[in-house]
């Protein structure tokens, strides 16, 4: 597994070793021992989530507050997404900064997002199926969000926001300066 560090501490892009032949391909999408050796970290992933969306869907920016904050390991099973996070960790040198990475069925990259980040993505292909592992269970009472169009963040979602398909819940999320987060 190739591990790519990002400009934000703790965020990692993981590229699996893919074995191609006449039949197609094979790769290990997750192996706890390989993951620990490559990242130096042990996570106990306990929940898997999957979502299917169409072009221009924008989901996010979501997080869960402590004590049920979640580390996520994201990948695209089908299509292409632009995956984005915002650092919400108190005291972090990169607090309030965002980072994005293209995840696709073709590149097979995975994005490791530690606790303390708001997460979202936009769909760049006609459809996309996204799969992610979490190290904590979903807790409605701990959920929070930041508005995807916060001008202070100026996130490039790689889609025209006038054509974005966004839930009412995500449209109503507060700006970062008004969001309720504690990590």
User: Which helix H or strand E contains 171, and what residues bound it?
Assistant: helix 168-171
Task: Give the separation between CA 38 and CA 40, rounded to whole angstroms.
Answer: 6
Which of 62, 63, 121, 148 does the annotation list as catalytic? 62
Structure tokens at 5: 């560090």
User: Which of 20, 13, 18 shows the shortest CA–CA distance to 28?
Assistant: 18
User: Which helix H or strand E contains 36, and what residues bound it?
Assistant: helix 32-39
- Pairing status of strand 117-123 against strand 80-87: antiparallel
User: Which of 123, 16, 127 shows the shortest CA–CA distance to 60?
Assistant: 123
User: Which helix H or strand E contains 100, and what residues bound it?
Assistant: strand 98-104
Reply yes or no on whether 119 is catalytic: no
Reply yes or no on whether 182 is catalytic: no
CB neighbourhood size of 95 (10 A): 15
Structure tokens at 135: 């190290």
Which of 43, 121, 132, 181 does the annotation list as catalytic? 132
Annotated catalytic sites, by residue?
62, 132
């Amino acid at each position: 597994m190739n591990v790519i560090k990002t400009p934000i501490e703790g965020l990692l892009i993981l590229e699996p070793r893919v074995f191609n032949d006449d039949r197609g391909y094979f790769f290990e999408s997750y192996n706890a021992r390989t993951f620990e050796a490559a990242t130096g970290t042990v996570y106990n992933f306990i929940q898997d989530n999957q979502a299917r969306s169409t072009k221009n869907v924008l989901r996010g920016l979501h997080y869960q507050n402590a004590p049920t904050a979640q580390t996520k390991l994201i990948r695209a099973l089908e299509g292409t997404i632009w995956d984005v996070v915002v650092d919400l960790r108190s005291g972090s040198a990169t607090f309030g900064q965002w980072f994005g990475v293209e995840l696709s069925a073709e590149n097979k990259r995975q994005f490791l997002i530690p606790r303390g980040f708001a997460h979202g993505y936009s769909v760049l292909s006609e459809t996309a199926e996204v799969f992610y592992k979490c190290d904590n269970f979903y807790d409605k009472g701990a959920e929070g969000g930041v508005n995807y169009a916060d001008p202070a963040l100026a996130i490039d979602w790689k889609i025209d926001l006038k054509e974005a398909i966004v839930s009412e819940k995500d449209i109503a999320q507060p700006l970062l300066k008004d969001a309720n987060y504690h990590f």
